[in-house]
Structure 1
Amino acid sequence: MAQRILLITSSLFGEGGQSSALAASFKSALEGRDVELIERNVVEQALPHLTGGEMTSWMTEPGERSNEQQALARISDDLLAEVEASDVLVLAVPLYNLGIPSQLKSWFDRILRAGKTFQYTANGPVGLLEGKSGLILAARGGMYAGTEMDSQTPHLKHMLRLIGVQDVHTIYAEGLNMGEDRKQQSLKEAQQAIAQYVATRF
């Protein structure tokens, strides 16, 4: 059975973004392989910031929801269905002001749902979506990986692991704003790492 891959892109610059270039390299490496690829651009989708009303709709029994609550709950339910049906979650992520794009945060806010993708226990939260793997394709203008300034990588890994995705791999393209030579070398190394990842995983 073909593995199902959910590719999430989040660049404000669309196909012109460096993280989108990493996503394109990933798709190119998949050509000819027995996989099913689903793509979601969270910037084009323009998910609004999460509100109390939307969160309340999740906590209301489906049969008791108002029409407005049904519409609000459907936003998260549709995104969750994509995640649940996928074997691999791939996040192509730029670094904006040391964090993730707010649009990507809005996506995470709707898939990190207690009782759906994780549950609280006496020993802390436990993820409910086990057996999936994750890949982070990280594009950065500077050099941050492995430093105290890289709060993005642990944040992404913690959110994925919260829902049960424990096997998470990261491929970086850094120094992209530090001269053309550095940029091209970094992108080349990232492309090679992506090709190797795909060759060993699919």
Structure 2
Amino acid sequence: MTTSSENDNRPLAVLRVDSSARGDASTSRALSDRVIEKLKAEHGDVSVTLRDVSAGLPMVDGAWLGATFTDPAERSDDQKATLSLSDTLIDELRAADVLVIGVPVYNFQIPAALKSWIDLVARARETFQYTESGPEGLLKGKKAILTFASGGVDLNGVADFTTPYLKFMLGFLGITDVQVVAADRQNLDETAVDRATAEIEQLAA
């Protein structure tokens, strides 16, 4: 994987997004740890920004929508304050070369907090734009690694609604290079975490 950081001699910028509510017992967090270790081993100089959303994020509401669809030059101070967290999250995304996103499966979907993160960063004119040929993502040239953890859901199985959604949304924002490391069906397969750990060692550099 050749990144912009390698071309301009700056540290590899990694944005790590954790969403599991299980803390130190979380499989997705443990897998993300290993992915970060792998990146550091391969790239040496790595800068990691951690965004832990597990405690929850504000949900998009009418005030937020009104602010984001108001011309930036005409936003009130209240509207700017309403968008301040979204602005920060988007800045973190823009600065990243690689995203490492922890994806625990809750009731066949991503955690609500991770969905809120997506809602806050998917903003017209900021991370995507509408063109004559359709929507265009503005976050091109980045790589995403998803650390998927489930108790009974098969990765890419009929009940996996998480990875198709995340791949679509990341692609919508311009991030099409997406790899998935999966410790799936942990309640049924005692080797799931070992398999995922082995997958991390095989990640494309």
- Could you tell me the TM-score, scaled by structure 2's length? 0.89
Q: Distance in 1 between matches of 2:104 and 2:164?
A: 14
Residue 19 of structure 2 contacts residue 113 of structure 2 at CA under 8 Å; is this kept in 1? Answer: yes
Deviations 1:47-92 (A, max 9, x none): 1211121121122233432332111111110000000000111111
Deviations 1:99-134 (A, max 9, x none): 110000000001111111111123221111111111
- 1:189 corresponds to which residue? 195
- 1:23 corresponds to which residue? 32
* 3-state SS of paired residue (1:43): coil
**Equivalent residue for 2:148, pick from 135, 138, 158:** 138
- 2:139 corresponds to which residue? 129
Map 1:163-202; keep pairs closer than 5 Å.
Answer: 163-178=173-188, 182-183=189-190, 185-197=191-203, 200-201=204-205
* 3-state SS of paired residue (1:149): coil
More helix by share: 1
Q: Distance in 1 between matches of 2:184 and 2:176?
A: 24
Shift of 1:25: 1.9
CA RMSD of superposed structures (Å): 1.5
User: Are residue 40 (structure 1) and residue 40 (structure 2) matched?
Assistant: no
Q: Distance in 2 between matches of 1:194 and 1:135?
A: 10
- Could you tell me the TM-score, scaled by structure 1's length? 0.90
Q: Which runs of 4+ in 1 moved over 4 A?
A: none
- 1:87 corresponds to which residue? 97
Q: Distance in 2 between matches of 1:49 and 1:103?
A: 9
- 2:108 corresponds to which residue? 98
Which ranges of structure 2 fall in alignment gaps of 5 or more residues? 1-8
Q: Distance in 1 between matches of 2:104 and 2:16?
A: 14
* 3-state SS of paired residue (2:57): coil
Which ranges of structure 1 fall in alignment gaps of 5 or more residues? none
**Aligned residues with identical type, % of pairs:** 38
Deviations 1:122-154 (A, max 9, x none): 322111111111111100101422322111111
- 2:78 corresponds to which residue? 68
Q: Distance in 2 between matches of 1:133 and 1:80?
A: 16
**Equivalent residue for 2:19, pick from 10, 16, 19:** 10
Shift of 1:31: 4.2
Q: Distance in 2 between matches of 1:31 and 1:89?
A: 14
* 3-state SS of paired residue (1:28): helix
